[in-house]
Homo-oligomer: A and B are copies of this chain.
Amino acid sequence: MSLHLRPGQALKLWHDSVLDLVHLDESGLTVRQLSILLTVYLELPPHTVRGVAQKLKVTKPVITRALDSLGRLELVARRRDPADKRNVLIQRTVKGALFVEKLGDFMVNRAQMLPS
Give the shortest distance, in Å, between A88 (CB) and chain B (any CB): 21
CA distance A61 to B10 in the complex (A): 30
Q: Interface with B: A69-77, A78-86, A103-111, which one? A: A103-111
Residues of B contacting A4 in the complex (Cβ-Cβ under 8 angstroms): 111-112
CA distance A32 to B28 in the complex (A): 8
Chain A, interface size category, equals 35 or more
Known A-B contacts A21-B31, A22-B56; the reply to A2 vs B113 at CB < 8 A is yes
Q: Are A7 and B108 in contact (CB under 8 A)?
A: yes
Residue of B nearest to A30 (CB): B30
Interface readout for A1-18 with B: 1 if CB under 8 Å, 0 if not?
111111111111111011
A3-B114, A4-B111, A28-B30 given. 6 additional CB < 8 A pairs? A5-B107, A11-B38, A13-B107, A19-B38, A19-B56, A23-B56
